[in-house]
Structure 1
Amino acid sequence: MSGNLRIITTEDGSHSLYNDELKESYHNSGGAFKESIHICMLYGLDSWVMNNPNKKPIRIFEVGFGTGLNAWLTLVWAEQNQIPVLYHSIEPFPLTEDIYSQLNYGDMDDAIFHYKPYLQRLHKADWDKGLIMSEYFNMKKEKISLQDVILYPTDVVFYDAFAPSKQPEMWTKEILSKVCSSLNPGGILTTYCATGQLRRDLKDVGLEVEILPGPPGKKEMTRGWKK
């Protein structure tokens, strides 16, 4: 997979990857760093904590470890807020070191620069094993497909697969039902995807669906709440 990848720079100065085989980037061209903060932190973790201030630890499932940006920002968030997070991520095609070692996310914000070493630690961590990464962040990443993974009860889902037009098998109602069934009551799913079909399918599998403003370069995003 890495042979088909090349590093690109998005509009906020942060890196993303472009998959030449799929003709698809890992992030919105408007800014990878800003996109992850917007979708996963602002409309994901921050929103969930606002509605569940006393529930700890927070259990997160990520569809697509990819560049590690969502996981790394979640680690930073957990440390800054001193809220424990149990993070479960899957990625059937992990990046090789020659790719992930060049990613510049740790240089994007001076306020979190001291967390920079954790980004490569996240990538270098053993697959298919649990790991205590920091005082407030425990992670398990698995080299497995979404179809085959066993899911744990989850509070927040970051659904970050490639677009439905590129990976339709990741967006079927059957697979969405599997993921949404793992959500605890009050749990949320956030995704950059804003198709009408996705929203209809999320409603059909039991979520209340919101259309939210998208990150820079994208008009809308989607969030679903478990009743």
Structure 2
Amino acid sequence: MKREVVITADGSSTIHLPDWNEQYHSKHGAIQEAYHVFIKHGLQYFYTENIKDELESISILEIGFGTGLNAFITFLEAEKLNIKTNYVGVEAYPVSSEEITLLNYAKELKAEENETVFKALHDVTWNEKHDITPLFSIEKQKKFFAEIKDEDVFNIIYFDAFGARVQPELWTEPIFESMYKALKKNGVLVTYAAKGSVRRAMQAVGFTVQRLEGPPGKREMLRGIK
């Protein structure tokens, strides 16, 4: 399938798939979407709600590691929050090294001093845990989402799969059931999606679902709580 790196409305890059008319991030702004959906309503929300429990660490599962943008921003935020973060990114079709060199996230995030970290997120071997810094570890798992069998492991899930328009099988009750099982009690799943069928699938497997204001270009997004 043809793939091309393009610039989104906030100046940050993403990968566009012309055959599907789909991209890895919102065309209205890749960085803006990542911060709004996954950091503000995921990481920061969970941290604020649970800080009273004297959290020692946070475990995050990303559904669709893709360009590594969400992982990189999470690394930056974990350093600010000073909390140990264990990050697992699942991806069946890794981005190529050539495409990675065209992504401008460190520059657009004004985090050029951490360009080596962004590179390391992609360079580390798959299916092994790696300590990037004392506060941030990552394990990239090369497999399909349906193969996830974890139970009571994660505090937060970033559900960032391609949209239901092009891959409806990724937004079904069986997938969300495995997500629900993978979360610990009070765990949070956040996604840019807001379709009624997605909300109902999440509710059917046990999530308490909140409809929230969406990122630029989207009216709503969803957050599910276990």
- TM bucket, shorter chain: over 0.9
Structure 1 residue matching 2:16: 3-state secondary structure: strand
Q: TM-score, normalised by structure 2?
A: 0.95
Percent of counterpart pairs with the same letter? 33
Distance, in Å, in 2 between the alignment partners of 1:217 and 1:155 is 28
1:97 is aligned to 97
Partner residue of 1:38? Answer: 36
| 1:49 match | 47
Per-residue CA distance 1:18-41 (angstroms, 9 max, x = gap): 112322111111100010011111
Do residues 10 (structure 1) and 8 (structure 2) align?
yes
Q: How does 1:75-86 map to 2 (within 5 A)?
A: 75-86=75-86
Helix, strand or coil for the counterpart of 2:223?
Answer: strand
> Structure 1 stretches of 5 or more lacking a match?
none
Query: 2:190 matched to which residue of 1?
Result: 190
Secondary structure of 1:48's counterpart equals: helix
- CA distance in 2 between counterparts of 1:95 and 1:26 reads 11
CA displacement at 1:5 relative to structure 2:
1.1
Structure 2 counterpart of 1:213:
213
| Structure 1 position 55, deviation (Å) | 2.0
Distance 2:22 2:196 in 1: 20
Separation in 1, partners of 2:85, 2:218: 28
Take 1:98 and 1:166, find their aligned partners in 2: how far apart are those partners?
25
Task: Answer with 193-202 or 17-26: which moved more.
Answer: 17-26
Aligned equivalents of 2:103 and 2:38: distance in 1?
Answer: 19
Q: CA deviation at 1:63?
A: 0.3
- Distance in 2 (alpha carbons) for counterparts of 1:60 and 1:109: 21
Name the CA distance, whole Å, in 1 between partners of 2:150 and 2:10.
34
RMSD across aligned positions (CA): 1.1
Q: Answer yes or no: is the 8 Å Cα contact 1:79–1:135 preserved in 2.
A: no
**1:28 and 1:218 in contact (8 A); partners too:** no
How many residues of Structure 1 are paired with residues of Structure 2 in the alignment? 223
Q: TM-score, normalised by structure 1?
A: 0.95
Runs of 4+ residues over 6 Å off in structure 1: none
